Amino acid sequence: MKTYDLQQAAEILHMSSSALRLKIKQGVIRAAKPAKKWVIRDKDIEDYLTTEADLVAQRASSFRSNLECPSTSAERSGGLISPHPTAREYAARLGLVTEKLRRSTTTD
């Protein structure tokens, strides 16, 4: 089992040592601190790279599926249809009595 210190692992991963330290503290990369310095195993670096590659592939496939033409998908709606109810719809659902809004008119 080969181990690396923080600086060596950061160079392998092409990131700064502070970014690597943050990922370690967040639990993204496994590491140990037996004394005053971080120690990262080569297997943990491999696991991190594999996970990152899987995430990139997943994002790419998700992005490609979102690029479908809306006209070929009967499930999607497009245009000016808003999924959010308007104030009038809220009032109707709650049974509130509201006055019709007057239109702004100007006279010459």
What are the DSSP calls for 11-35, one per residue?
HHHTS-HHHHHHHHHHTSS--B-SS
Yes or no: say if 17 and 6 are a contact pair by the CB < 8 Å rule: yes
For residue range 37-46, what is the model confidence (pLDDT) as tens digits?
A: 999 999 999 9
* pTM of the model as a whole: 0.54
Would the CA dihedral through 88, 91, 93, 97 be positive or negative?
Answer: negative
DSSP 8-state symbol, 103 = P
d(CA 99, CA 83): 24
Domain regions of the chain by residue span? 3-66
Task: Give 55's pLDDT tier (boundaries 50, 70, 90).
Answer: confident
Yes or no: say if 70 and 76 are a contact pair by the CB < 8 Å rule: yes
Element at 40 (helix H, strand E): strand 39-41
pLDDT of residue 15 exceeding 70, the answer is: yes
